């Protein structure tokens, strides 16, 4: 199979938490025999052993739009919720960026993708990965009509990308002005969010979960020096659970070493800030903690089986994983055997104390989680699933 992929970003210097997932998925597709032609919507395309790169045709404009969006937000055209998240109405900056993208970026992207398909006449399918469909409205339908090639869209942020959330406060609203009918199908990281996508016009929706590459996330022989830690990006939609699983437990367990590695996360004065050295340092951060927290944002935690990358990373590392309530987590890991779920600060303190005193139990949880991840949640398995989906449209 020969696949043209337009990806949101592959620049690991840009703090988009999904970017490592796209690297792993593309690597796995290559390993299953897919020939990849790759371009990106933000930043440029790195050289790789796994794909042929086609430079971003609007990198300069995209950088300018990102700067403009930040400036508008600073002057507060956005409506922002108490937790720093966007409210349900499309913000002023989001609307401005969308309209400018449709006028200035979409025509260049249309020419860009047409030129690739014209020069690579044997492309079997086109896949857009977390590229805003409302920015490039009409392009998928045009490619289908001109080249007879199926075009699929993968949204890796459901349900946060949908109303009433409209994307994270630092991101882009995907769906105002979008027309999902132009795609042959939509892939969703969320099983529970599929119905909302169908209601927005998607012809078919395929749940397609995150995973982890065991070549990347493998246990390290590091002696833990942190008791409880969390890594992530921003407080959005999880402020309450950061307080419940970090701030309040630390106050009750002052003898315990708590740590946070992340961007714009304020967990309290007693929580140690762990160094952030980019994605390559993540494995050592996980390995040095006896307990690793999976604090899921409220949209994903409350819509059934809305997958996120972190639990698969932790499981593949063999980490002892403690999570806030996460509707549908049993789709991937068994509570009590492969992950511990806590529902209150008091329960968190109780479980932390038990696990910190019982190394055998911690190791058993991590071993069981890794065994499950290797059996069901590798990116090679996801790549094989994706090829099977794509073959249904070729």
**Tens digit of each residue's pLDDT (9 = 90 or more) over 261-303:** 987 788 888 999 998 877 888 999 999 999 999 999 999 999 9
2-211+379-391 topology per CATH? Rossmann fold (3.40.50)
**Mean per-residue pLDDT, 363-384:** 98
- When pLDDT is cut at 50, 70 and 90, the band that residue 52 belongs to is very high
CATH match of 226-376 with 3.40.50.10420: no
Which whole-number Å values give the CA distances from 159 to 119, 152, 173, in the listed order? 37, 18, 12
Residues, the chain: 394
The confidence score (pLDDT) of residue 335 equals 98
DSSP string, 262-303: EES----TTSEEPP---GGGHHHHHHTEEEEEE---HHHHHS
User: Quick check: do 2-211+379-391 and 226-376 share a fold?
Assistant: yes
**Mean per-residue pLDDT, 181-188:** 98
The confidence score (pLDDT) of residue 266 equals 86
Assess whether pLDDT exceeds 50 at residue 12: yes
Determine what percent of the chain is predicted with pLDDT higher than 70: 88
Pair of tokens at residue 51: 């794909």
Assess whether pLDDT exceeds 70 at residue 70: no
Q: What is the pTM of this model?
A: 0.92
> What φ, ψ does residue 280 adopt, rounded to 5°?
-65, -20
The confidence score (pLDDT) of residue 81 equals 44
Domain extent listing, the chain: 2-211+379-391, 226-376
3 state SS of 190: strand
């Amino acid at each position: 199979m020969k696949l043209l992929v337009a990806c949101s970003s592959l620049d690991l210097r840009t703090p988009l938490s999904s970017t490592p997932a796209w690297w792993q998925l593309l690597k796995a597709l290559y390993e299953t025999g897919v020939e990849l032609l790759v371009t990106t919507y933000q930043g440029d395309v790195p050289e790789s052993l796994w794909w042929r790169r086609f430079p971003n045709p609007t990198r300069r404009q995209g950088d300018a739009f990102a700067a403009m969006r930040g400036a508008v937000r600073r002057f507060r055209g956005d409506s922002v919720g108490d937790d720093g998240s966007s409210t349900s109405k499309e913000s002023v900056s989001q609307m401005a960026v969308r309209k400018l993208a449709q006028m200035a970026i979409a025509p260049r992207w249309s020419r860009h993708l047409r030129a690739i398909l014209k020069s690579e006449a044997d492309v079997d399918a086109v896949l857009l990965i977390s590229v805003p469909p409302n920015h490039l409205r009409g392009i998928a339908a045009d490619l289908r009509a001109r080249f007879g090639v199926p075009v699929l869209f993968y949204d890796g942020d459901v349900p946060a990308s949908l109303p009433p959330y409209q994307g994270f406060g630092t991101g882009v609203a995907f769906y105002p002005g979008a027309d999902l009918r132009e795609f042959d199908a939509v892939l969703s990281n969320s099983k529970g969010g599929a119905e909302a996508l169908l209601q927005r016009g998607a012809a078919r929706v395929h749940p397609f979960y995150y995973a982890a590459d065991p070549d990347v996330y493998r246990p390290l022989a590091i002696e833990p020096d942190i008791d409880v830690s969390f890594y992530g990006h921003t407080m959005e939609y999880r402020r309450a659970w950061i307080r419940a699983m970090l701030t309040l437990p630390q106050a009750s367990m002052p003898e315990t070493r708590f740590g946070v590695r992340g961007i714009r996360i304020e967990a309290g004065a007693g929580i140690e800030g762990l160094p952030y050295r980019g994605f390559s340092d993540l494995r050592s951060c996980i390995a040095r903690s006896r307990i690793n927290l999976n604090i899921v944002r409220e949209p994903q935690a409350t819509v059934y089986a809305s997958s996120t990358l972190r639990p698969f990373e932790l499981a593949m590392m063999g980490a002892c994983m403690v999570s806030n309530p996460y509707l549908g987590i049993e789709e991937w890991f068994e509570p009590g055997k492969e992950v511990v779920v806590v529902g209150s600060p008091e329960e968190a303190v109780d479980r932390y104390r038990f696990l910190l005193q019982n190394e055998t139990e911690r190791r058993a949880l991590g071993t069981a989680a890794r065994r499950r991840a290797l059996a069901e949640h590798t990116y090679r398995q996801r790549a094989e699933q994706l090829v099977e989906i794509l073959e249904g449209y070729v």
